[in-house]
Amino acid sequence: MAALKHIFNELHYEMTRTLAEGGMGLVYEAVQKGAGNFRKVVAVKLIREEYSTIPEFQKNFIGEARLVADLIHTNIVQTYHLGQIGGQYFMVMEFVSGVNLEQFLDRHRVLKRQIPIDLAAFIVSRIARGLTYAHQKRDRDGRLLGIVHRDIGPKNIMLAFEGDVKLTDFGIAKALDLMYNEEGQVIAGKDEYLSPEQADKRVTDARADLFPLGIVLTELLLGQNIFRAHDRLESRQNILHLPIPKFSTLRPDINPKLEVIIQKALQRDRELRYQSASEILNDLEVYLYSDGYGPTNEKLGVYLKELMGHREPGITPAFTLTPPT
């Protein structure tokens, strides 16, 4: 760490602490320094040294950076720079002062509280908004990039203390001409948050991000992921075959309008599922705001600060940097 700090100091980044560690990579909090006492808190994500020389990991890491460089949207964590030091690649990213959705869920479990239904739907609507932008993104020649995130889940959704909701970690996303991809041979994503087509090793399109979005919504509402099992294979089998319940029987204050949205998001046949993120975004916003005032970033921010005891740990986006299974 000391050697790394010295190298980054020469690049005008002061590494202040380790924020997250994964099998293949790490994320640090850092202060970017510039002229005139300029200082900006950022997150620095890099591949572990032992993996940085493996072409597949290099290619995926570079591909992720290239992919997200032009994804500039309030509901997506922004990437500022891709660099290399001593053969080790790193990304400089937006620093999000807040918690990820997994920590948000865990806090409710500890306090034995249910997440308010309107806030659960609002959080998912903001991710649908970010996905709408990503799925519709085109390159400079006007070609649709065909971005599929493939890793929608609580660890990759950030809640800022100001109330912003941000999608992060496009590390296993696929897109036109940009990402290494072996769909049909491997499973990309976390087993309990897969779409049926991912679990079945089929080629995906943008609709594959909408099924796990439905899973996230139900987990926020119920406090648990109904597809999660003790082993990975069983989780995948649940994704493919577990009967989808009527969720209002599991939480009676889920109203019929929201039930319809959940059931459509969790259609295993993607032709029957929502056909775009913009469709589920529209339905969620009609549900939230058709009767008048609904949740806002500010309301979520106030709730989050109260929930976390006004602590602002400055947690950065979670990440995977793990190979497909």
- Using alpha carbons only, how large is the chain's radius of gyration in Å? 20
Nearest to 180 by CA among 88, 60, 292, 91: 60
Inter-residue contact 320 to 100 (CB < 8 Å)? no
Question: What distances in angstroms separate CA 274 from CA 5, 98, 212, 243, 263, one per listed residue?
Answer: 47, 30, 12, 19, 10
Type of residue at 249: T
Catalytic, 169? Answer no
Instruction: Give the pair of three-digit tokens for residue 246.
Output: 């009527």
Q: What is the pLDDT of residue 55?
A: 82
Q: Mind giving me the DSSP string for 160-217?
A: ETTS-EEE---TT-B-TTTS---BTTB--S-GGG--HHHHTT----GGGGHHHHHHHH
Inter-residue contact 318 to 20 (CB < 8 Å)? yes
SS3 85: strand
Q: What is the pLDDT of residue 49?
A: 77
Please give the distance of CA 282 from its chain centroid, rounded to a whole number: 20
CA distance 305 to 312: 8
Domain boundaries, the chain: 2-94, 98-307
Q: What is the pLDDT of residue 292?
A: 82
Q: What is the pLDDT of residue 182?
A: 67
The topology (CATH level 3) of 2-94 is Phosphorylase Kinase; domain 1 (3.30.200)
Nearest to 50 by CA among 321, 319, 318: 321
The values of phi and psi at residue 4, to 5°, are -65, -40
CA dihedral 141, 142, 146, 147 (to 10 degrees): 80
Q: What is the pLDDT of residue 74?
A: 96
Q: Which of 118, 139, 151, 231 is an active site residue?
A: 151
Within a 13 Å sphere around the CA of 90, how many CA atoms are in the beta-carbon half?
25
Q: What ranges in the chain are assigned the alpha helix state H?
A: 2-10, 55-68, 101-111, 117-135, 196-199, 210-222, 232-241, 256-265, 277-289, 297-307
Question: What distances in angstroms separate CA 214 from CA 121, 263, 265, 293, one per listed residue?
Answer: 10, 8, 5, 24
CA distance 161 to 141: 38
Nearest to 195 by CA among 185, 180, 210, 181: 210
CA distance 202 to 182: 10
Give the CATH superfamily of 98-307. Transferase(Phosphotransferase) domain 1 (1.10.510.10)
How do the pLDDT tens digits run along the chain, 325 residues long?
A: 555 665 676 667 888 888 887 767 788 899 988 888 899 999 998 888 778 788 877 887 888 888 888 899 999 999 999 988 877 888 999 999 999 999 999 999 999 999 999 999 999 999 999 999 999 999 889 999 999 999 999 999 999 999 999 999 887 888 876 655 567 667 778 999 999 999 998 989 999 999 999 999 999 999 999 999 999 999 999 999 999 999 999 999 999 999 999 999 999 999 999 999 999 999 999 999 998 889 999 999 999 999 998 654 444 443 333 333 3
Type of residue at 42: V
